[in-house]
Amino acid sequence: MALSLDRERCAYCGGCVGACPTLALELAELTLIIDEDLCTECGACVQVCPVGALSLTVGAVTPVTDS
């Protein structure tokens, strides 16, 4: 899974920043920065977003092949 941001919907209110237990989100000059190394994909930010700009999405799956 990955945390996704819909920048057109985001109100840049900062509610998600305060809800993140790992401090993976930062609001800087009307830009929400997501630190993917710190994000544990817990969904706390998704739950508090008043405009539904954040979501957890399933990423592309890389097939495993025998070598």
- For residue 26, give the CATH number of its domain: 3.30.70.20
Helices (H), 1-67: 15-19, 44-48
- Whether 37 is in a domain gets the answer yes
Q: Is 67's pLDDT higher than 60?
A: no
Q: pTM of this prediction? A: 0.80
17/61: higher pLDDT: 17
Per DSSP (E only), the strands in 1-67 are: 2-5, 25-27, 32-34, 54-57
Rounded to the nearest angstrom, the gap between the alpha carbon of residue 66 and the centroid of all alpha carbons in its chain is 34
pLDDT of 12: 93
Q: Is 62's pLDDT higher than 60?
A: no
The rounded distance, in Å, linking the Cα atoms of 52 and 31 is 16
For the four alpha carbons of 16, 17, 21 and 24, in that order, the dihedral sign comes to: positive
Q: Is 41's pLDDT higher than 80?
A: yes
The predicted-structure confidence for 6-29, as pLDDT tens digits, reads as follows 999 999 999 999 999 999 999 998
- Whether 65 is in a domain gets the answer no
Residue-number span of the structural domain to which 47 is assigned: 2-57
- Whether 64 is in a domain gets the answer no
How many domains does the structure of the chain reveal?
Answer: 1
